[in-house]
Amino acid sequence: MNGDVLYSDEVFTVATNPDLDEDSRVMVLETTDGRVMAVLTPAMADKVGLYQRQDLSEEIFRQMLNEAGVTLHGADYVFYFSEAEKNVLLQESLEGVLRRLTEQDDAVFSEFQSSASEQDLDDAYVELDHWAVFGSFEQNRLVSAASMYPWGYNAQIADLGVLTLTTFRGKGHARKVVRSICKYAYDQGYEPQYRCQLDNQASTALAKAAGLTLFGKWDVISPDSTD
């Protein structure tokens, strides 16, 4: 959320950043302490009319977005590892049949995907060609997988997705693959990040079970937003 600050007070900050990708040209982060930070491209700031405003608040900012026809996708929870939990993670040795997956696991992964619903596949966004993929096995069958890809925005952050087959949930598979892949991310110099929709109680519970802490709520411009 770096950039040139246009406005800042104790609870609300707005900045511009010309390096934002097209699909993230407006982003809003609300941290658990109640502070809100918004960053957008200079072109979007101009479209919204931010350069003409001196007095700003989150409410005014959202109203300006609305009046300019800019809609947001809908917030996700963002979780991270606290320093204490990170240290625990880096020192632990996880039990179970866990390993990193590669392109040699194409047949195994295809069978895994075919056993999951389209909705679960879309929600999890776990792909074998992502930057890193880890799997948990039961009776030689892949039953849970997590994948990561580096998140842009000039930050060493790796975004995480995880999927466990329905009949194998509640056995700790997802927790183990999440912790395994996050440990790998740290070893590669990345900060792991876990996101889920606000109403996804199962994913929220998994984040906490895996030792993650809620950082805040993150929103981005909707793909359907007009320019």
Q: Which amino acid is it at 93?
A: S
Q: What Cα–Cα distance (Å) separates residue 89 from each residue in 85, 137, 154? A: 6, 21, 25
199/74 Cα distance (integer angstroms):
11
182/148 Cα distance (integer angstroms):
9
User: What is the β-pairing status of strands 191-197 and 157-164?
Assistant: parallel
- Termini Cα distance of the chain: 22
5 CB-side CA count, 13 A: 6
Identify the helix (H) or strand (E) that includes residue 145: strand 141-151
145/160 Cα distance (integer angstroms):
11
What is the phi/psi pair of residue 177, to 5°?
Answer: -70, -35
Contact in structure between 69 and 49 (CB atoms under 8 Å): no
DSSP string, 30-95: EETTS-EEEEE-HHHHHHHTGGG-SS--HHHHHHHHHHTT--B---EEEEE--HHHHHHHHH----
Residues of the chain with pLDDT under 50: none
189 Rama sector, left if φ>0, alpha if ψ -120 to 50, beta otherwise: left
Q: What is the pLDDT of residue 227?
A: 63
What are the structural domains of the chain?
Answer: 4-70 (no CATH), 80-213 (3.40.630.30)
Contact in structure between 158 and 150 (CB atoms under 8 Å): yes
Q: Which amino acid is it at 117?
A: S
Q: What is the pLDDT of residue 23?
A: 86
Q: What is the pLDDT of residue 93?
A: 87
Cα–chain-centroid distance for residue 29?
A: 12
